[in-house]
Structure 1
Amino acid sequence: MQTQQAMRAQQNLPIGEKQIGEAMERLRKYKTGKAALDERVVNAEEWWKNNHWERFGSESSNENDPEPVSAWLFNSIINKHADFMDNYPCPAILPREESDEELAKILTEVVPVILEQNKYDSTYNECSWDKPKTGTAIYGVFWNPEKENGLGDIDIRCQDIMNIYWEPGIKDIQRSRDIFTTELVDAEELEYLYPQVKGKIQKTGEVVKSEYIYEENIDTSQKVQVIDWYYKIKTRLENGGIKTILHYCKFIPGTVLYSSENDPKTAQTGWYEHGKYPFVFDVMFPEKGSPAGFGYLDVMANPQEYIDKLDQIILKCSVLNRPRFFVQEGVGINEEEFADLKRDLIHVSGNVDTTRLRQIDPPQLSNYVIEMRNAKIEELKETSGNRDFSQGSTTSGVTAASAIAALQEAGSKLSRDMIKGSYIAHAEVVTLTIELIRQFYDLPRCFRITQPNGDAGYVQMDNTQLQPQPMDMQGEDIFARKPYFDIKVSAQKASPYSRIANNELAKELFGMGLFNPQIADQAMAVVQMMDFDRRDEVMKKIQENGTMYQKLQQMTQLLMQLAAMVTDFSGRPDLLAAVQSLTGAMPAMTDVQVDPSQNVKTNSLGEATGMDTSTAGKARDRAASATEVR
């Protein structure tokens, strides 16, 4: 009787066996639409592992031919990855309203700590491999109830593109009707976590997930495919607006494990209250009609293939140049002695002439083959933007530090472009992180914050300030205002060259006297005309110095007036002298080292070079003076 009641109750739930059956059909369609992308990803992974000879082998190929594997493509990919790691992102959270400034400062301190606790550097590292290889890195921003001993916390992972499926033909992943992710789970573990599925599990069965080509043998006979299903429902509000609710369902074929729409706690609010799919796509080169893209490896595969095939021709020709001979039957030569290069004397019987023993003429390799190979190598470097200067090496006799620095900076625009795209994705990751803090941080949590001076500070935070705040508009209806923030991402770990350049700029600004409070107005005008990283902080510091100096001047004048009044009243001129000596000991002004008679030199890009006193700058001046036409 109880079993029948449970079955009737299950049939009345929004998500049941019928709904997951329909979802399974859509998943199969999504997999069919994604088949070409999966094949390209598997092919890219084989190229990355240098197993590409098996990819373009033919029936006419000779199994004894050499199969050389050069690492030009590999070298380019690891240089792209190094560019990503040299520019590790750091978010700055900015308020949209003045009342949220204090909260934005706390979030700017807390969010990087949350990312650090999530080992986000490892996630960023993994996604930085996927982006140049497959063209798409996918970040997953979830709430993990198992973390922090059951308290739960944010979980940021790199999502394998082979395990995620979306509606074919859409460009924005948030516009997909559904999103499915698949995972193989041990059958015993699944029965322990979900006792209701005991006896209903089909081990292995239909596996939707596409597979890579693994080197080891992976046994999946005791595994069960578990599918996570994310979908959106739109509801119309009383004011005529439309609200998007995100729901989540975990199921195995034929059985629902969990459904947020069946759960009374989340049926109305959804799985995540922000209403977005918890996935962020970071695309290298976009494609029309797909949220995924293609990567550098797809572009470089063709020239790398011809480089290796030309290497095969060169090596095969080299092997054929080994001395070999045509020998007539019964020539009477001791073959063992003839093949032994250590023997000076070789015994023969009878006459030996060129008609009976003749050396095989080796084939001559055309110089065109070598030139074509070098041209393909240069093509791969050009198409990938991986020139010699970007790796710190030089060619064609370029040895000047200034020339190398200028070429490196000019050649890094492709790296800056792809890193900017990753920063856009990182900003969305931070936005989803803040939304999860808003939804789940009901209890205060303590975070250790490293202060600018290196000392440790501690901040407690919950989601109280992130909740909708009631506002009264001049006695009219009260409505709730939810705090929102803008995310600005910059590089936390810059390259050593960038750090040196920033240090040189700071020294130049100090040498020019721009931090003197006496000339704060002039300094502000100069800095406003300049363009460099963290300029706003420098302008703020100059303004604070000027304001403090003005207040100090006002206090000095007031103190002198009071001292004169006290001297007249008490008849003690020594007090006035003491105050004058005290106010006269003001900080000295830094000399402004600007020579108006000195001409400002500019390079071909219009950048001023006359005031550069760094090592690279001095080398640049020497190189310029040596090559200047007089």
Structure 2
Amino acid sequence: MPTASPEGEAFELPTAQVIGEEEVKKANDILQKYKTGKAALDKRIIDNELWFRMGHWKNYENKMMEGKPKPSSGWLFNSIANKHADAMDNYPEPNVLPRAADDEETAKVLSKILPTVLEQCDYETVYSDTWWRKLKTGTGVKGIFWDPTARKGLGEISIRSVNLLMLYWEPGVEDIQDSPNLFSLSLANSEQLEAQYPQLKGHTGHSLDVAKYIHDDSIDTADKSVVVDWYYKKAQPGGQTVLHYCKYCNGIVLYASENDPQYAESGFYDHGKYPFVFDPLFREEDSPAGFGYIDVMKDTQTAIDEMNHAMDENVKLSAKQRYILSDTAGINEEELADFGRDIVHAAGRVTDESMRPLQTAGLAGNLITYRDDRVNELKEISGNRDVSQGGTTSGLTAASAIAALQEAGSKLSRDMLKSAYRAFAQECYFIIELMRQFYDEQRVYRITGESGGTEYVPFSNAQLQPQPGGMVGGVQLGDREPIFDITVSAAKKSTFSRLSQNETAKECYQMGFFAPANADAALAALDMMDFEGIEKVRQRVGQNGTLYQQLQQMAQQLQKMAAIIDAQNGTNVSAAAGAASQAAAGSGGGSGGKTAAASTLNSLGGVVGDSSTSLSSQAAKRAMNVNNPNKE
């Protein structure tokens, strides 16, 4: 019976299905076990979402707070937003390096087309969404998949930000690749599922409970069904481990790679890994997930909010006049509470014992100082100091001092970015492996260079397939698969980073680093320096030095050639002068003698060459005028 792959491709199932209802039932039992082990993490993720939205008062069941204002200051949110801004200022860019000289050309092509592939996947949006989740939950997760329906059936790589709340793995593993199973859950419209998978008709609805965020709006999921993407690793008879994939809903198999003849032996993805990259912020032991800044800041934020609530109440009570009345005072309470009345009636005698003002003491200065100290504490533990946001301490005006403080204050952000860049490099490796497996058709990518020129680069997986190792001693070597290293740099730079780099360039220029004569000294200084882009500067200085040496060598050669020409010219001139004198003497100095002398000098001048012809002619003229000084 024909069915469909996870992306909708149709194929024929073999007669005997390896994955059926019994295997799906066992997978469900494993999923329930994984959910139990992840329950505490799921609860923390849901609570952190409320903290991020400043709705954390919903977590407190305090009856004394009912009906009263619940102020939520944005110190925690401001810290998270600044961390996200740092991440976006340092958007990553890949650079592919070959491990063998034969793969250098392919590495250059990959370095050009990888940014284009990421742009087609809308990677900047994925990068931003993943960073929000990383900062809130402590872990950012991206999925790198192959979508055969993209580009009208040609297929393309798809990258998505994955909700950690919908992922389940074996409790206790640190690396997600060590889990024997991995489950990714999603909610899909039941009618659309039945239209895409006819075998699901009559079996839609909720059969699994999924963790849900707490929303202000009411979200109805009655018409949704839970779809499970089940990834699992299976050992082959030869010892190789392959990755298989099964998609099911309510116990009905929608697709299984083991039931697909195309993938039954090789596995769903040739790289054999779960197509997910985990990027924890602060790592926890025995878990691929980590914890984030909200988990660190929430207690201090709670104290600040509770103090703000008490201070707000105090200000309101201090601004409002209240009284203590005795039951025997006989004062009209309605008139007393109405500040618009000029006269308040009393039935009896009013004394200090029957009516007394109730005045609330104002806030003491040390209380406000304590609240400010807690705010500074939250800034310190989150690394969100004023200087990292552009603020400075009083009296600090020097640009270099401000830049130094900002650079020192950004080390936490740089540490976060390094972990994100490591995760990005893993994602690029996944992309290259998917290209190696699925890029059967040649594709053409438009590449815009730094100078604004446009280049069209063709590419297919033929450049990534194993290459013959050749013959050595009559023995055929095995095939060599092209392998690459990936380095990551920041494609977009913050204003401060650009300013700092521009200042470095100007200082290098002022110190004469780019003067060709100073190349050796400049290279020695650069070896002791470290700044972004130093390799390009070192390469340019080296080129200047090489060019300078070549010019020096050419100048020396020209000097030697000039000396040789001058020596030859001097010898020829002397010989020509002697011959001309003899010719002139033999003919009495007449015109015939001058003609003979000129003929002799011209014939001798031709020996020197074209370069000395003019010099010989001038020497001949001088020789002809030896006996006639008036013509000199």
Matches within 5 A, 1:204-603: 204=206, 206-235=207-236, 237=238, 242-321=239-318, 322-329=320-327, 331=329, 338-341=336-339, 351-363=349-361, 365-474=363-472, 475-554=474-553, 564=565, 568-570=608-610, 572=612
Q: Deviations over 1:262-317 (max 9, x none)?
A: 11111122111111110000100000000000000000000101111111221222
Distance in structure 1 (CA, Å) of the matches to 2:35 and 2:405: 45
Q: Is the 8 A contact 1:24 1:253 kept in 2?
A: no
Q: Deviations over 1:13-59 (max 9, x none)?
A: 22111111111110110111100000000000011111111212334
Cα shift at 1:471: 0.8
Distance in structure 2 (CA, Å) of the matches to 1:510 and 1:190: 65
Note closer, same or farther for the CA distance 1:356–1:138 as it changes in structure 2 (3 Å cut).
Answer: same
Cα shift at 1:491: 1.1
Structure 1 residue aligned with 2:179: 176
Distance in structure 2 (CA, Å) of the matches to 1:310 and 1:567: 105
Distance in structure 1 (CA, Å) of the matches to 2:391 and 2:611: 79
**AA aligned opposite 1:533:** E
Distance in structure 1 (CA, Å) of the matches to 2:402 and 2:29: 58
Cα shift at 1:446: 1.3
Q: Deviations over 1:148-189 (max 9, x none)?
A: 111110101100001111111000001110111011112221
Note closer, same or farther for the CA distance 1:330–1:94 as it changes in structure 2 (3 Å cut).
Answer: same
Unaligned runs of 5+ in 2: 3-12, 569-605, 617-632
Q: Is the 8 A contact 2:257 2:263 kept in 1?
A: yes
Q: Deviations over 1:112-170 (max 9, x none)?
A: 11111111110010011111111000010111112111111010110000111111100
- Structure number, greater radius of gyration: 2
**AA aligned opposite 2:138:** G
Q: Is the 8 A contact 1:166 1:173 kept in 2?
A: yes
Note closer, same or farther for the CA distance 1:254–1:207 as it changes in structure 2 (3 Å cut).
Answer: closer
Cα shift at 1:330: 7.0
Q: Deviations over 1:215-251 (max 9, x none)?
A: 22222222221110111122354xxxx4221111111
Structure 2 residue aligned with 1:593: none
Q: Please, which of 32, 37, 40 is the counterpart of residue 36 of structure 2? A: 32
**AA aligned opposite 1:245:** V
Q: Deviations over 1:449-473 (max 9, x none)?
A: 1112112221111111100111124
**AA aligned opposite 1:361:** Q
Structure 2 residue aligned with 1:81: 84
Cα shift at 1:518: 3.3
**Residue 55 (structure 2) pairs with residue 51 (structure 1):** yes
Q: Is the 8 A contact 2:449 2:455 kept in 1?
A: yes
Q: Is the 8 A contact 1:41 1:134 kept in 2?
A: yes
Q: Is the 8 A contact 1:20 1:253 kept in 2?
A: no
Note closer, same or farther for the CA distance 1:543–1:50 as it changes in structure 2 (3 Å cut).
Answer: same
Note closer, same or farther for the CA distance 1:493–1:362 as it changes in structure 2 (3 Å cut).
Answer: same
Cα shift at 1:335: 5.5
Distance in structure 2 (CA, Å) of the matches to 1:562 and 1:342: 112
Cα shift at 1:375: 2.4
Q: Is the 8 A contact 1:110 1:447 kept in 2?
A: yes
Cα shift at 1:99: 1.4
**AA aligned opposite 1:314:** M
Matched position secondary structure for 2:19: coil
Distance in structure 2 (CA, Å) of the matches to 1:223 and 1:66: 37
Note closer, same or farther for the CA distance 1:551–1:442 as it changes in structure 2 (3 Å cut).
Answer: farther
Q: Is the 8 A contact 2:14 2:259 kept in 1?
A: no
Q: Please, which of 99, 106, 109 is the counterpart of residue 106 of structure 1? A: 109
Unaligned runs of 5+ in 1: 3-8, 577-630
**Farther off after superposition, 9-18 or 490-499:** 9-18
Cα shift at 1:567: 9.3
Cα shift at 1:558: 6.0
> Normalising by structure 2, what TM-score?
0.84
**Farther off after superposition, 546-555 or 211-220:** 546-555
Note closer, same or farther for the CA distance 1:515–1:400 as it changes in structure 2 (3 Å cut).
Answer: closer
Q: Is the 8 A contact 1:65 1:316 kept in 2?
A: no
**Farther off after superposition, 356-365 or 145-154:** 356-365
Distance in structure 1 (CA, Å) of the matches to 2:464 and 2:423: 23
Distance in structure 1 (CA, Å) of the matches to 2:75 and 2:615: 80
Q: Which has the higher helix share?
A: 2
Q: Please, which of 129, 134, 138 is the counterpart of residue 131 of structure 1? A: 134
Q: Is the 8 A contact 1:10 1:16 kept in 2?
A: no
Q: Is the 8 A contact 1:65 1:312 kept in 2?
A: no
Note closer, same or farther for the CA distance 1:56–1:334 as it changes in structure 2 (3 Å cut).
Answer: closer
Note closer, same or farther for the CA distance 1:334–1:209 as it changes in structure 2 (3 Å cut).
Answer: closer
**Farther off after superposition, 269-278 or 512-521:** 512-521
Distance in structure 1 (CA, Å) of the matches to 2:243 and 2:460: 23
Cα shift at 1:514: 2.0
Matched position secondary structure for 1:291: coil
**AA aligned opposite 2:272:** G
Cα shift at 1:367: 4.8
**Residue 190 (structure 2) pairs with residue 187 (structure 1):** yes
Matched position secondary structure for 1:171: coil
Structure 1 residue aligned with 2:20: 16
Cα shift at 1:318: 2.1
**AA aligned opposite 1:391:** Q
Distance in structure 1 (CA, Å) of the matches to 2:99 and 2:297: 44
**AA aligned opposite 1:497:** F
Q: Is the 8 A contact 2:278 2:423 kept in 1?
A: yes
Matches within 5 A, 1:138-157: 138-157=141-160
Q: Deviations over 1:193-221 (max 9, x none)?
A: 2223333x1322x2242111122222222
Q: Is the 8 A contact 1:234 1:244 kept in 2?
A: yes
